[in-house]
């Protein structure tokens, strides 16, 4: 499972960070840092990844199964 980040859509609400801080973080400029960009999410973090994706209010995150 991967998470695709659409940075044009991201508005820096930071809800993914609130839901899954071990995966998502807004840096000091409010840009999203995602720890597994371009890589598969480890099994143990997949539920959190899915949770982070689902709370994005602007659908900037998508799951690729």
What residue ranges bind other proteins (CB under 8 A)?
A: 11-15, 17-18, 21, 25-26, 29-31, 47, 50-51, 54-55, 57-59, 62-63
* 58, 9 Cβ separation under 8 angstroms: yes
6/40 with CB nearer other proteins? 6
Asked if 3 and 53 touch (Cβ cutoff 8 Å), the reply is yes
The least distance separating other proteins from the CB of residue 10, rounded to whole angstroms, comes to: 9
Q: Which helix (H) or strand (E) holds 40?
A: none
Q: How far is the CB of 57 from other proteins (least distance, A)?
A: 6
Residue for token digits 């995602």? 34
């Amino acid at each position: 499972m991967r998470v695709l980040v659409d940075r044009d859509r991201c508005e820096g609400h930071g809800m993914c960070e609130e839901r899954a801080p071990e995966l998502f973080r807004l840096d000091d400029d409010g840009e999203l840092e995602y720890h597994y960009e371009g890589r598969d999410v480890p099994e143990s973090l997949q539920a959190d990844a899915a949770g982070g994706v689902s709370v994005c209010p602007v659908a900037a995150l998508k799951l690729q199964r």
